[in-house]
Amino acid sequence: MLAGYCGIMAALVAANFALPALHLVLWSAIGLTSVAAIVTGVRLNKPRSRAPWFLLAGAVASFITGDLIADVLTRLLDRQGFPSVADGFYLAVYVLIAAALVGLIRIGVARRDPNGLYDAVTVTAGLGLLSYIFLIRPYVEDPALSVLEKSFSIAYPLADIVVLAVGARLITAVRRSPALLLLAAGGIGLLSADVGYGLKQLNGVWETGGPVDLGWAAFYVLWGVAALHPSMRELTEPKVHRAGEEHFGRLLLLGLALFIAPCVLYFEMRSGEVHDANVIAASSALLSGMVLLRLGRAVNEQRRTVQRERRLRRAGAALLMATDEPGVTATVRTAIAELLPLGRPHRVVLAPAGGAHDGGTVSMPYTRTLERSLADELGDFEVTLCCPLAPVEGRESGRALFIAADEVALVGVQEAAQILATQAALALERIALGEEIGRRNSEAYFRTLVLNTTDVILIVGDHDQIRYASPSARALFGSDELDGTPLPMAFAKESLVEVDRRLHDLRTRGVDRPGDDLRVVGADGRPALVEATFRDLRGEPTVGGVVVTLRDVTERSRLQAELYQRATFDALTGLPNREVFLGRVQEAVSSGAENGATVGVLIMELDDFKVVNDTLGHGAGDALLVAVGNRLTEALRAVDGSYGAAGTVARLGGDEFAALVRRAGTAADVERVAEKVLASFATPFELPHGDVTATASIGVATTAEAADAQDLLRHADLAVYVAKDAGKDRWRRYESSLHSAVVERHKLRADLDRAIADGAFLLHFQPIVGIGDGRTHGFEALVRWNHPTRGMVSPAEFISVAEESGLIVPLGAWVLRNAVEAAAQWRLLHPGEDVYVSVNVSARQFRGQFKGPEQSFARWVLDEIDRMGLPPASLLVEMTESLLLHDDGEVTAELAELRAAGVRIAIDDFGTGFSSLSYLRRLPVDVLKLDKSFIDTIASSAEQHAVVDMIVQLAAILQLQIVAEGIETEAERDLLVAMGCHLGQGYLFSRPLSYGDASQWLLEEASGLQRGSRTAA
């Protein structure tokens, strides 16, 4: 096949140069033959990964397509335009080649050698400088070329540089092989032809069929040969790397690359003018950096070598202390775990070498090619490092150290593994010699062993009667006088049949087929589990019977059951955990798919669970979780059979629970279950700490929208998110639009991030007036976002996103800075008006860093008002009750610092959160802002009127100022005046105003003019 290909390509290339008139046909045949050869080579040689080779085939196909299009345009259609469609195919060639070479590097270069990367970058940087001078700069400086023509002209040499860099990295990292050399030669042909073509184009003397075409012809031919050559498999095959030295040729090449920049600078200086100083400087800096990185790499390699030797010495000392093969195996495993990168998954086995012996040399076979039992023990790793144990005194051990891990880790540990295998061989030989010496007195040894072992040893005669029982039988059976007892009668009734079966199989077939553990009645009358081993030693003169060995595994079975319980059930609530729940959901989905039933999943998250932990303590929180688990189980049991079969209730983690509804008739039945579950939360939970009222947000998903268990849980999670966003204490069923909503929210976050960087926000000001006389006392600063495509976005939409993402810190800083600046301007324009500005502050702003980690939020605020020349009393900082509730002392300290400086503090939306008299007395607060929800109904609800009146009176007693929010009617204003509330804001007085309108508002007030109704744009 290979010889035939070479012959065909030689004929085509020769014909192409001999018959210029047929260039279009012959050149296309050359390229297509090369593509066919690569594809055929992949199918014949079956490399470990085919994708890189198919990318190379695609690159060749794209190149010949570009040639074909170019020839058609220039020769047949006489169109000389540049760039053309053909240039797109040409540039795609380099992208495909780079991708293919990167794929070969990632798969075939198990040894991640940074030095190879540094060397490749060094050579590329030097040659790239020459490419810039001779190929790129002439195009950049050519005024006759358009921007598009310059872009395409520059793209070609840049693409060559990228391919050169990746190719150099591959060559420096992969062991030499014919296929690699052929690829390198073909790549050199391609790059040489590209350089020649570029130079001829600059001189305007390019003609098809010249010497430059030889480079491209070599590219086509050699890459096809590389794919057909059997050595192409070696590029991606796992292999053992030998420690090598730096070759003189490689160092010479690096030295030449380092001298390119100084030589270019020297010749340009000799010419009288340095044209490329910046490029030369950048190239020199890059080359210097590569040299420093290589030196650093050498230091690190030396450090790692010292650490490896220290670990090997420690392992050798431990092997000297090992007394048996398991000890040797454990020591080897510990040493390998230390030699491998921390936490890297791996398997270590000492086993017979078998077919992996390979003449006693180290090898790296595929794990699947090893013996079945050994491969199963090594796990799912693709390759295994096999280090045969060294022969001792000329005797082959026939065993090997097998290490299974990812290929990169194995290459890094192979040299140390060989040393460790030698040490292990010596340790095993020492242990074997010791055992041989011990076996000289075997009779006394085994008698002592039998008499003192905790395992029970029974010898059974031909009639299944016990002839001998070791002394340890007394601890298990309560007596060692078992001589003459039929063996089955020594066991509990439920094990009689199993004992008879095993004895019969052993006597008739010579094979013991163990089943479940057997039961006996212990010495204290309690049942015990034993692990039994039956061996037919009737042919041994010293035994002459069946040997039954019994080991008490009662405690082990109990521990296994306990471990299983811990691994599959939540320790706090006793409910199944996520893994168990997921498995049962998948079983229900599979069963439902067979019988056409609907399966539903409910995910429940407690609302404000953190409040319970913060206010009542974590003990109360744990008790609430247990109570919720019981309540959910009872609620699901109550609807069992009504809307489907109740399934598993599980705790997924934290305050998140899940429930499974099996065999529901329709999705509506699952929704009714969700309603019942939500209704069950209406009753307070009785806890040792007192009654606690809790609500939950529930997400519902059914198999009507999901195909498997993972989709069900993911959809239910999305639905929970929507339920919480809708106000909590409710359920929501998954709809396809929910996914779109989440995506839209992420997009809004990205837009918000961009808007903060661009300063694309507006600041509006709502007047705070005396509700009796209408005189302006201050303004509340309100941020607005005029989105380029959405229009004016409500703060209700983007403030929550800013809080979640942390963008509230820079956004809040922008608002406060501009609000302070506006207030300072008003003081200059209206020196007689004592007007303040009110700014809302988020909890995250108290934790954010401003000019540096040493500056607090309070210090930053004081610096801002000092910079603007604003008196501290002209700034009112508003915060919510939730911020105070979760205060850890830091917020209080910063508020005290602000208040001590003269800044006033307000509690915003008072009464809507966790209002407490204790923090009104404890915290430095000046103003209470009464939420709009209280004002809306004071004219229609006597109860609400009384509540507002009480808050106003309380504020008067505590000497706090009250500001009523959301006043929209004269009736509301009059009632507030009658209660003694003096300040307010709302649409009755004015909507939020732009800065200009707010300034006009103050001007009209100062002039005594009648103010018109104004609203912000």
Rounded-to-integer distance, Cα 163 and Cα 212, Å: 19
Could you tell me which residue, 210 or 442, shows the higher pLDDT?
Answer: 210
Closest CA to 135 of 115, 156, 116, 120: 156
Q: For tokens 């709302």, what's the residue?
A: 986
The 8 Å CB, 24+ separation contacts for 191-196 are 191/160, 191/163, 191/164, 191/215, 193/219, 194/156, 194/157, 194/160, 195/131, 195/135, 195/157, 195/160
How many other β-carbons are positioned within 10 Å of the β-carbon of residue 785? 23
Q: Give whole-number Cα distances, 584 to 320, 609, 630, in Å.
A: 51, 27, 19
Mean pLDDT of the chain: 81
Closest CA to 335 of 419, 239, 238: 419
In the chain, the percentage of residues whose pLDDT exceeds 90 is: 16
Q: Is 358 left (phi over 0), alpha (psi -120 to 50) or beta?
A: left
pLDDT, residue 886, reads: 52
pLDDT of residue 655 exceeding 50: yes
pLDDT, residue 1013, reads: 47
Q: Which two tokens stand for residue 298?
A: 């050498």
Q: Which amino acid is at 386?
A: C
Instruction: Tell me phi and psi for residue 796, to 5 degrees.
Output: -60, -25
What does the pLDDT average to over 510-524? Answer: 79
pLDDT of residue 242 exceeding 60: no
DSSP designation for 343:
T
- Max mean pLDDT range (145-159, 210-224, 304-318, 668-682): 668-682
Radius of gyration of the chain (CA): 42
In which order are the strands placed within the sheet that holds 598-606? 645-653, 656-664, 598-606, 696-702, 731-733
What does the pLDDT average to over 202-212? Answer: 63
Tell me the per-residue pLDDT of 362-391, one tens digit each, with 9 for 90 and over.
888 888 888 888 888 888 888 888 888 876
- What angle (nearest 5°) sits at the alpha carbon of residue 192, between those of residues 189 and 198? 140
Could you tell me which residue, 871 or 124, shows the higher pLDDT?
Answer: 871
Tell me the per-residue pLDDT of 416-444, one tens digit each, with 9 for 90 and over.
888 888 888 888 888 878 777 765 655 55
Tell me the per-residue pLDDT of 137-194, one tens digit each, with 9 for 90 and over.
666 666 766 666 667 667 767 777 777 777 776 776 677 788 888 888 888 888 777 7
pLDDT of residue 842 exceeding 50: yes
User: Residue 602 — very low, low, confident or very high, per pLDDT cuts 50/70/90?
Assistant: very high
Q: Give whole-number Cα distances, 437 to 320, 391, 445, 771, 821, in Å.
A: 18, 21, 12, 106, 94
Could you tell me which residue, 733 or 640, shows the higher pLDDT?
Answer: 733
Tell me the per-residue pLDDT of 62-73, one tens digit each, with 9 for 90 and over.
888 887 887 777
pLDDT, residue 1016, reads: 44
Sign of the CA dihedral running 671, 672, 673, 675:
positive
What does the pLDDT average to over 103-126? Answer: 66
The CATH code of domain 748-1007 reads 3.20.20.450
Tell me the per-residue pLDDT of 891-937, one tens digit each, with 9 for 90 and over.
778 888 899 999 999 988 776 655 556 566 677 889 999 988 889 88
What does the pLDDT average to over 955-979? Answer: 91
CATH 3.30.450.20 fits 455-560, yes or no: yes
Q: Which amino acid is at 146?
A: S
Q: Which two tokens stand for residue 493?
A: 């009734």
pLDDT, residue 270, reads: 76
pLDDT, residue 650, reads: 93
Superfamily grouping for domain 322-440: GAF domain (3.30.450.40)
- What angle (nearest 5°) sits at the alpha carbon of residue 599, between those of residues 596 and 600? 155
Residue 858 CA, chain-centre distance (Å), reads 37
Q: Which amino acid is at 650?
A: A
Alpha helices in 958-992 (DSSP H): 970-979
Residue 658 CA, chain-centre distance (Å), reads 24
In the chain, the percentage of residues whose pLDDT exceeds 70 is: 83
Rounded-to-integer distance, Cα 676 and Cα 633, Å: 12
Q: Give whole-number Cα distances, 473 to 449, 496, 507, 522, in Å.
A: 14, 18, 24, 10
Could you tell me which residue, 205 or 634, shows the higher pLDDT?
Answer: 634
pLDDT, residue 623, reads: 92
pLDDT of residue 818 exceeding 90: yes
pLDDT of residue 10 exceeding 50: yes
- Max mean pLDDT range (253-257, 393-397, 939-943): 939-943
pLDDT of residue 871 exceeding 90: yes
What does the pLDDT average to over 305-323? Answer: 83
Architecture label for domain 570-734: 2-Layer Sandwich (3.30)
Q: What is the pTM of this model?
A: 0.39
